[in-house]
Structure 1
Amino acid sequence: MEGEATYRGTVYPWQCDHIGHMNIMWYVGKFDEANWNLFARLGLTPSYLRESGRGMAAVQQNLSYKRELLAGDIVEVKSRLLEFRDKSIRFLHEMRNAESGEVAATCEITAVHMDRAARKSAPFAPAIRYAAMHHLVPQERASA
């Protein structure tokens, strides 16, 4: 995956289940934290969302678990923007064990930009569209 990390952290013992590996709820939580760092790079910062009355809502999320993560493992998520539309984006997160480099999980998400008052989708602002174009990874590069 290209680019800077959108999340770095550690697996804590309380995040592990009865089998001894990180429970799925924590994978989702770490991917969610990566979402907000990716969004900020596109201009979808917390202050922008508050001041503009906008929000982001996930409408589809597909996770693949590849390798288990254990207590004490250091985790890194890198993200890439796959598709940018008028009112939605599609992006991919890849979670790795930072020590071994092994891919632990991937998560592809489609999210919609919305007007919080109207509770319906809304077009992205031109500045966000402009920023997103610099982060867009064409599909042929994304699968390489």
Structure 2
Amino acid sequence: MECEATYRGAVYPWQCDHVGHMNIMWYVGKFDEANWNLFARLGLTPSYLRSSGRGMAAVQQNITYKRELLAGDIVEVRSQLLKLREKSICFQHDMTNAETGEIAAFCEATAVHMDRSLRKSAPFADAIRETALKYLVEPAEV
């Protein structure tokens, strides 16, 4: 499935560091906001997580920085689901400068579905798996 926009925003001057480009902490923050939009599309909505006692925990995140972003730049993140396992997902975010179309950074991350009360990983519900399979860009792994 094609990457879908999961975040849109701007770079503010206070998000820039001493050399004038967006500081890495804000790349992470914008990718985090994209996470929650991607999760919601898969059925991992805030109401589902609250009512089911489930949660999502990041276990790995790798970011590659390609181009700097400056104050005033418009940012878009597009996300795709790469792998679906019994209790975890792997996905990629591509952050672009929306004006130029250039990739500024990309992030590949793995998150685990968990039972919040037991503090242990838990299998995805069938409905979540069925929805997630529609977003998968690579063959499913069980």
Q: Structure 2-normalised TM-score?
A: 0.96
2-structure distance, mates of 1:4, 1:121:
27
Question: What is the DSSP-based 3-state SS (H/G/I as helix, E as strand, rest coil) of the residue aligned with 2:114?
Answer: strand
2-structure distance, mates of 1:138, 1:56:
21
Q: Show structure 1 runs of 4+ deviating over 3 A.
A: none
CA RMSD of aligned residues (A): 1.1
- Give the partner amino acid of 1:41: R
Segments of 5+ residues of structure 2 without an aligned counterpart are none
Instruction: State the shift of 1:29 in Å.
Output: 0.2
Instruction: State the shift of 1:138 in Å.
Output: 1.4
2-structure distance, mates of 1:85, 1:3:
20
Name the structure 2 match of 1:126: 126
Q: What is the 5 A alignment of 1:5-44?
A: 5-44=5-44
Name the structure 1 match of 2:4: 4
Show CA shifts across 1:34-70 (max 9, x none).
0000000000000000000000000000000000000
Instruction: State the shift of 1:5 in Å.
Output: 0.5
1-structure distance, mates of 2:55, 2:67:
33
- Give the partner amino acid of 2:9: G
Segments of 5+ residues of structure 1 without an aligned counterpart are 140-144
Instruction: State the shift of 1:114 in Å.
Output: 0.1
Name the structure 1 match of 2:67: 67
Question: What is the DSSP-based 3-state SS (H/G/I as helix, E as strand, rest coil) of the residue aligned with 1:79?
Answer: strand
- Give the partner amino acid of 2:135: H
Name the structure 2 match of 1:49: 49
Aligned-pair identity (%): 79
Q: Structure 1-normalised TM-score?
A: 0.95
Name the structure 2 match of 1:96: 96
- Give the partner amino acid of 1:96: T
1-structure distance, mates of 2:2, 2:14:
31
